[in-house]
Structure formats: C-alpha cells, structure tokens
C-alpha cells in the first residue's frame, strides 16, 4: 500500500540557498576529478607502467561516477546528499551531482539554468586549485600522501550537505514592494510639485498612500487568473504534489508556486511500466548516445591532455597549466552561456548541438598545433563546450523526458558507460603505447563529437516539425 510518508511545501524559484550550498560542496567533491590528468602522468613517472595500465586510475573513477546514477532515488535527495559524501570519490561525486541537479530542477522553474550554472560553476573553480594543490602536496608528501590529504579535505563537505534537508525560501517581494513604493512616492511628489503644491517626502499625502496598493497590485501582488482571489495582498499559493508539478507549466511569472515534496511507495509494476515507456521514446536514445560520447570525451581528454602536451616537447610544469585553462573554459560557460539559455528556452537544444560541434573542431585541431598558446586556445574552447554540455544536459532530460525520469535515465546511461569505461585503457594503450601518438585518438574524438552534433540537429528538426503539427 502506497502512502505519503513526508510532506513539505517549498516555494518555486525562491530556494537560492540550495544552489549556493551545492556550489560550496562541489568545490570539494569535484576536486578529485580535476587532477586526474596529473595522477595519470604521476603514475607513469613514479611506477614506470604503461599508459594502458596507468589509465585504470581514471577508469575506476569513471565507472563509479556513472554507476551512481543507478543508486539515486528521487524521493530522498537532501538526506542522500549527506550520505553519499562519505563513500568513495567516484560514487559519491556521481550521486551528489545527480542529486543536486534534480533538486535544483524541482525547486526552480524560471531560473533553472542559473541555478544549475551556480552549482557547476564550482566544478570549474575546483579545477583551478585542484591540480595546483596536488602538485604542491606531491612535492612535500609524495603522491600517496597528497591523495590522503585531499581525501581528508572532502570530509568537510558533509556538514554542508546536512543543511540541504530543509532549505529556506528567499522572498524578494518585500524588497520589490519597497523599491516600487519609493519610486511611486518620488513620482507623486514630482507631479504635485509641478502644480505648486508642497509635498514633503517624509509625509506623503493621502492620495499617495491610498493609491499605493492599487499600483502595487500589478507589480507585486499578482493573482493567477485561473484561481480564486484570496482577498489579501499576499500572492496566491498553489499547492500540489511533486508528480503534478513535474508535468505542469508555470504561466504566471510572479505567481508563487509551491512544490510539495512527498515520499510515495509506488508498486514495482508501475516503475517497470514507466521504464518501458521510456525505452520507447526517441529522445531517450538521442540523449543516451550524446551522454556516452560527451562523458567519454570529458574524461579521456582531461586525462591525456597533460601527457599529450609532454609529447609535444612541453615541460610538465607548463603542461599542467592546460588543466587550469580547462577549468577557465568551464567557468566561462557557466557564467555566460548557461544563464543566457534561460532567456530563450527553445534554443537550449540547438545550443547543445553547437557545443558538440565546437568540441569536435577543438579535438580535431589539436594534432595540428604544437605551440602552448595554440593548445591553450583549443583547450579553452573544448572545455567551454564541455561546461555547457554538463550544465544543460539534466535540464534537457527533464524537458524532453520528464523530471521523474531523470534518475532512471542516469542509471541506464551509467550502465551503458560500463563497457566504454572498461575498454578505455585498451583504447588509450593502443593509440599511445602501440601506435606511439595521441593524434589519431584526438581525430577519433573529433569525429565522434561531430556525429553527435549532427544527430542532435536532426532530432531538433524532428521535434520542431512534430511540435508544429496540430
């Protein structure tokens, strides 16, 4: 028998403490993924092993991150954020990112991209200090000691995760009312002064005072047209369950909407039926293919970029800067491009496809340059595209498949990534240890991303034509 276990009402587009806390935790949780390229080089240098064997360090993290989607439960997000941070790096990182991504999508409607960019922006910032921190720690405590200290730093994110359980809402209506009231009083004073009627600023006339609620009603106390008026100056409250909230559209911009999060025990048959319906959706296979390619590109290029620069006769201390410039690209994407996608929601999918095209061009051009300046420019462009892809993917999944299916999609995507992850060491070993160069590997990555860009553009046209049909 199913029933509501926990009931909590949260106002949409007001819980800004969630992306802020998530960003602070991301600074620590995503630190291990930021220095995997250095770990790859250090393992080769310190232990004298082949690239194929050394790449198992990033493969273990890669597999754990994507298996985490299988463990994510939509109805236990805040508590799970605290629990997963004490597990292994990869599993904890994957479950944490998936949990806070779904949490942000549930709590934000108009500012989804902004909330997601705040969280993933911290991932880029972690890439600024993570490689430098490990580089300094290795000089003093060797590789094992440096990794041990970094692991201890991750535990500091657990207290922050506990604060996500009951996020407080931030109501800006009082601030809007005060600003509007001040502007109205100034306008009223100016109008009466033209008629030679004295009107002190600190003692407004009855006309100014009584007309404020009528003016403010259109700016602050807006009521939804489809709901009965409450008769008060407060905004209309809409209360409905999380499942009803998922398929609804918010039509009133200033109307307060409340999300009621509940934990319901649904039968296994309904979950199986939902999974079968998901497998019959064309968008599922499009995002499955693009997710596999984008995640493999993110990890493979991030792991090999330092070693690739060393092959181009660039010193290790200089090649390490490529990881930092990669973080700069992620930050630029989340500060500029992702928030802009909130202004035109229909442009997210073509921008998503364009990011894959940018990734393809950058990867295919890297074998043809040798200077550190050219490599830096290509690295920034490549990471700029990756930053947008990572930040917008969950929003697109919720838009085309439904927010209730995001966790299920992540689990299936994680299972699909297992054979790709396990074959990654053999692929890198084939190109670098046998062929002797990363150039064909980067050409292959460019071709894969170009294929995904074409697939996304075709899906966009397919969806656009079906949307125009009556």
Helix (H), strand (E), coil (C) string for 344-371: CHHHHHHHHHHHHHHHHHHHHHHHHCCC
Same domain (yes/no): 153, 24? yes
Residue 259: pLDDT over 60: no
Shared domain check, 199 and 132: no
Domain membership of residue 376 as a residue range: 4-169+272-468
CATH number for the domain that contains residue 35 = 1.20.1250.20
The whole-number pLDDT of residue 359 equals 95
Same domain, residue pair 250 and 284: no
Of 28, 262, 334, 7, the closest CA to residue 160 belongs to 28
Mean pLDDT of 408-412: 82
pLDDT value of residue 75:
39
Reduce the DSSP state of residue 203 to 3 states and report it.
coil
Cα torsion 169, 173, 174, 178 to 10°: value is 150
Q: What's the rounded mean pLDDT across residues 220-225?
A: 43
Mean pLDDT for the stretch of residues 382-409: 87
Q: What is the pLDDT of residue 170?
A: 64
- Helix boundaries (H) for 250-347: 268-279, 282-311, 316-319, 321-332, 338-340
The mean pLDDT value for 453-461 works out to 94
- Of 357, 336, 355, 383, which Cα lies nearest the Cα of 113? 336
Mean pLDDT value of segment 200-216? 44
**Statement to judge: residues 282 and 240 lie in one domain:** no
Give the pLDDT confidence score for residue 262 in this predicted structure. Answer: 47
Instruction: Using the CB atoms, write b or e for 363-388: b if 16+ within 10 Å.
Output: bbbbbeeeebeebbebbbbbbbbbbb
Q: Percent of the chain having pLDDT more than 70?
A: 67
Q: Would you say 376 and 365 are in contact if contact means Cβ atoms under 8 Å apart?
A: no
Same domain, 400 and 335: yes
CA 29 – CA 8 distance, rounded (Å): 28
Spell out where 143-271 has E strands.
239-241, 258-264
Could you tell me the CA-to-CA distances from 275 to 202, 247, 412 in Å, in that order?
64, 17, 10
Whether residue 251 is found in the same domain as residue 201 = yes
| Other residues' Cβ atoms within 10 Å of the Cβ of residue 144 | 10
pLDDT above 90 as % of the chain: 18
pLDDT at 273: 76
Final residue before a domain boundary, out of 214, 239, 265 = 265
Residues 141 and 237 both lie in one domain: no
CA 60 – CA 130 distance, rounded (Å): 19
Contacts for 345 with CB less than 8 Å, ≥ 6 apart: 399
Per-residue b/e over 83-110, b at no fewer than 16 CB within 10 Å? ebbebebbbbbbbbbbbbbbbbbbbbbe
All residues at 6 or more sequence positions from 181 whose CB lies less than 8 Å from its CB, including other chains:
212, 216
Q: Report pLDDT for 279.
A: 84
- Could you tell me the two tokens for 457? 């553009």
Which has the higher per-residue pLDDT, 252 or 366? 366
- Which among 416, 414, 420, 422 is positioned nearest to 65, based on CA atoms? 414
pLDDT at 276 > cutoff 50: yes
Give pLDDT, residue 213: 44
Q: For the residues 154-179, what does the mean pLDDT come to?
A: 71
Provide the 3-class DSSP secondary structure of residue 241: strand
Cα 295 from chain centroid (whole Å): 13
Asked if residue 439 and residue 366 are part of one domain, the reply reads yes
What is the strand order of the sheet 239-241 is part of?
Answer: 4-11, 258-264, 239-241
* pLDDT (tens digit per residue) in 168-198: 666 555 555 566 666 666 665 555 544 544 5
Confidence at 303, pLDDT banded by 50, 70, 90: confident
Same domain, 89 and 10: yes
DSSP three-state, residue 6: strand
Highest mean pLDDT among 120-129, 238-247, 427-436 belongs to 427-436
Question: Structural domain tally of the chain?
Answer: 2
Task: Specify whether 235 is located in the same domain as 282.
Answer: no
pLDDT number for residue 360: 96
Q: Rounded CA gap, 343 and 243, in Å?
A: 26
Same domain, 433 and 358: yes
Among the residue ranges 30-34, 137-141, 250-254, the one predicted with the least confidence is 250-254
- For 59, the enclosing helix (H) or strand (E) is helix 56-67
State how far Cα 158 lies from the chain centre: 20
Domain edge (last residue) among 248, 265, 282: 265
Burial 119-142 (b: 16+ CB within 10 A, else e): bbbbbbbbbbebbbbbbebbeeee
Do 165 and 244 share a domain, yes or no? no
What is the pLDDT, as a whole number, of residue 234? 42
Query: Backbone dihedral region of 184: left (phi > 0), alpha (psi from -120 to 50 degrees) or beta?
Result: alpha
Average the pLDDT over 290-315 and give the result: 90
The residue to which tokens 């689990």 are assigned? 411
Last residue within a domain, chosen from 224, 243, 265: 265
> What pLDDT score does 72 carry?
44
Quick check: pTM over 0.95? no
E strand or H helix at 9 = strand 4-11
């Amino acid at each position: 028998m199913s029933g509501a276990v926990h009931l909590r009402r949260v106002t949409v587009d007001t819980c800004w403490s969630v992306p802020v806390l998530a960003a602070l935790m991301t600074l620590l949780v995503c630190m291990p993924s930021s220095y995997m390229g250095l770990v790859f080089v250090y393992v080769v240098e310190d232990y004298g092993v082949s690239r194929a064997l050394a790449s198992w360090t990033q493969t273990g993290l890669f597999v754990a991150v994507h298996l985490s989607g299988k463990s994510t439960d939509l109805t236990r997000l805040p508590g799970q954020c605290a629990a997963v941070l004490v597990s292994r790096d990869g599993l904890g990182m994957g479950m944490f990112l998936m949990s806070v991504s779904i949490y942000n999508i549930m709590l934000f409607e108009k500012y989804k991209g902004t909330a997601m960019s705040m969280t993933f922006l911290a991932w880029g910032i972690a890439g600024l200090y993570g490689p430098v921190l490990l580089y300094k720690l290795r000089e003093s405590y060797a590789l094992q000691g440096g990794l041990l200290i970094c692991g201890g730093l991750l535990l500091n994110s657990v207290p922050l995760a506990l604060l996500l359980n009951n996020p407080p809402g931030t109501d800006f209506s009082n601030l809007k009312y005060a600003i509007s009231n001040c502007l109205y009083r100034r306008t009223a004073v100016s109008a009466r002064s033209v008629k030679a009627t004295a009107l002190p600023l600190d003692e407004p006339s009855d006309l100014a005072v009584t007309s404020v609620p009528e003016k403010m009603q259109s700016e602050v106390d807006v009521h939804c047209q489809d709901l009965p008026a409450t008769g008060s100056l407060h905004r209309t409250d809409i209360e409905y369950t999380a499942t009803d909230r998922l398929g609804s559209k918010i039509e009133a911009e200033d109307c307060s909407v409340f999300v009621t999060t509940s934990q319901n025990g649904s039968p296994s048959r309904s979950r199986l039926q939902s999974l079968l319906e998901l497998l019959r959706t064309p968008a599922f296979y499009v995002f499955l293919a693009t997710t596999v390619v984008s995640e493999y590109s993110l990890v493979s290029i991030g792991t090999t970029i330092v070693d690739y620069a060393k092959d181009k006769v660039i010193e290790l201390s200089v090649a390490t800067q490529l990881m930092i410039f990669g973080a700069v690209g992620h930050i630029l994407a989340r500060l500029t491009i992702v928030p802009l996608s909130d202004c035109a929601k229909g442009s997210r999918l073509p921008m998503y496809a364009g990011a894959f095209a940018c990734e393809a061009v950058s990867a295919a051009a890297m074998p043809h340059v040798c200077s550190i300046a050219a490599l830096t420019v290509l690295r920034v462009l490549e990471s700029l595209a990756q930053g947008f892809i990572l930040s917008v993917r969950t929003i697109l999944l919720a838009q085309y498949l439904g927010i209730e299916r995001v966790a299920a999609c992540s689990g299936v995507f994680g299972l699909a990534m297992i054979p790709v992850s396990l074959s990654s060491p053999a692929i890198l070993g084939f190109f670098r240890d046998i062929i002797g160069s990363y150039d064909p590997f980067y050409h292959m990555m460019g071709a894969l991303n170009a294929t995904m860009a074409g697939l996304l553009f075709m899906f966009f046209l397919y969806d656009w034509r079906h949307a125009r049909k009556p």
